[in-house]
Structures are given as structure tokens and as C-alpha cells.
Amino acid sequence: MCYSAECWAKYDNYVREFGADVDIKAFWTLYLNRDERYRARQRLSDGMKIPKGMDLNFMRPRTELERKIQDLIAVWNGRRLVESEAELAKQQARLAAAEAKLDVKETKAALNEQRIASNKIKQMQRWIEDAKRTRHDPARDDRIFPDWYAPVLIIENGKKVVRPMRYHCRPAGMEASIDRTKSGQISGTYNARRDNLTRFWRQQFGHTHALMLAETFYENVDDGRGGSKEIQFRPRTGETMYIACLYSHWVDPKGQAPDLWSFAAITDEPEPEVAAAGHDRTIINIKPEHIDAWLNPDPANLDELYAIFDDKQHPYYEHREAA
């Protein structure tokens, strides 16, 4: 599976690389929906998850719509700053109380409180810094996880278009509950297994294809001690990965929820070095010369699409334990 990736969050890169158009109205709709959801629920955690790298597209707005998006981002960051500073003060008080107890007697409860408060303090300090920072830091700003949004490249009306989509595909016609397992965890539909494309993904494979460009990807693997550790994989030569994806445009049949554009990265059997690192899948990194054929699929010729997979790029994926 591709648990996380450092993607191309700045859409100007797609414009330069492919001569693509940008569906700026789709970006506007995304940010507006995030703002409206917050106003309805008053919880930042309920908002659409958008990487900071995507926000940076609007630092220097060139159109009125881009200026409106910039204003929405500023309001969101202001909320994040206020909430994070309040939570930071709360956790600092929690840490002080735990350490006061530890000065008297060491207990598991006090040690646990110390650990949780310390971690929360680091998180809040990072969020506060991110809310204020304008410098682009790709490793922090461009990383996405399931349920996060990213720009992807698709074909619309014969033209290459960049549109923001959620990394966690909800196929059209399915219930929204497909997003979660029975236990409430995120379902695995952020990835599409090659061996399942003509079954579960048959309405997308050969019909709605997308491309996500990324520099590195992350996976969780067994740490040998009953837990897991996060491993970062990156092509040794440093080239960008052209990740084959499927997408879907989901419409609520009851008309009560906004439309959802979402995508999944296709995975295949692991490259040898990825398997050696402890993971059992690898994203399909197609060759640049196959991009047009991938984005313009012929549903009557699936063999051509499988041939693209068989001719995929095989960079050596160096890995290290993520910080």
C-alpha cells in the first residue's frame, strides 16, 4: 500500500511539466466547503485535510478567485493559531502538574501524563509554526495521507487538467460508509490493487484515470517487536515518480452532501528492495512516454493498460526509517 506520499502540491509544476490547465473553481469549491463545514460544526478536525503546500499556490494571487481562496486560507490559519495556542497552554499546565507529581513519587499514571503532554506540546508548537510560516518546506508541506487532498492530473474534454481530489477513493454509486471499516478505521480504498482492478475497480479502470507526481512515499512495516515503524522510500537517482491512479466523481443520491472527487494510487507486487524492507506492495511508477495513453484509456483494450504496468519504471527505492 502507499500509506503516505510527498506529492506535487503546487499545481504550477503540472502546468510547466504538461501544459495543463488548472480547474481553479474546483480549488475554490474545496476551500469554501472546508470553511462552511467548520462554520456548521465549529471543529477544525472536521475540516477537509489540505496540505500546506497546496495553500502556497495562493500566496501571490493572480485572479479575484485566487484572492478569495487566499482569504479563506488566512481565516483558517487564524483559527488554527488561536486553537493551537490555547491547547499549548493547556498541555503545558498538564505537563507541569505531571512533573510535580513525579517530584513526589514516580507513578505510571504520572509518567503517562508527562509523555502525552510532551507529545501534544511538540505537536502544537509545530502547528503554530506552520500557521505562521510562509517558506515552502516540501517534506512537511507536500506530504499527504489518506483523506488528505492533493492536485492530480486528469483529462477533461480532451485537455490535461489539474484538479484537487481526496486521496481515498469513494467509487461513484457506493455508500459513503465505504470510507470506513466496521471498526471505524479508514478503509483501504486509498489504494487500488492491480489484481483487483477488473473487480472492485471495474467502473474506474479503463475509464477514469489520473496521475499523481511524487518524490517519495512512506509505508508502515513490522518493527520486529510487536509494533510498527514508518519507512520512507525514495528513488536512488532522485527522479520524480509518475504514480498511476484511478479517480471517481461521487454524487450524494440524497443531495445532502457535497460532490466528492477522490482518487486511489494503484499498487503492484513489491519491488525486491521494498519487500526486503518489510512491505508487500509498491506503487506503479509509469514511464513518462506512457502518460498520454494512461490518461486516455480505452476500456475495450485493457491489455494496453496492463502493458503500461509491465513496462513501468524500476528505480532502486532507497529506504530509511522516517524521523
**35 located within any domain:** no
Contact between residue 250 and residue 260 where contact means Cβ atoms under 8 Å apart: yes
Q: Considering the entire predicted model, what is its pTM?
A: 0.91
Residue 271 CA: distances (Å) to CA of 149, 266, 316: 27, 14, 8
Residue 1, pLDDT > 70, answer no
Claim to verify: residue 256 and residue 180 sit in the same structural domain: yes
Alpha-carbon distance 318 to 140, whole Å? Answer: 20
Residue 65, pLDDT > 90, answer yes
Alpha-carbon distance 113 to 119, whole Å? Answer: 10
Residue 201, pLDDT > 80, answer yes
| Among candidate residues 116, 132, 148, the one where a domain is terminated | 132
Claim to verify: residue 308 and residue 254 sit in the same structural domain: yes
Residue 41, pLDDT > 80, answer no
Contact between residue 284 and residue 268 where contact means Cβ atoms under 8 Å apart: yes
- For the segment 218-234, the average pLDDT, to the nearest whole number, is 91
pLDDT band, residue 257 (cuts 50/70/90): confident
| Among candidate residues 132, 149, 164, the one where a domain is terminated | 132
**CB contact set of 92 (below 8 Å; sequence gap of 6+):** 117, 121
Claim to verify: residue 185 and residue 226 sit in the same structural domain: yes
What is the rounded average pLDDT for all residues in the chain? 94
Alpha-carbon distance 271 to 153, whole Å? Answer: 25
Residue 13, pLDDT > 80, answer yes
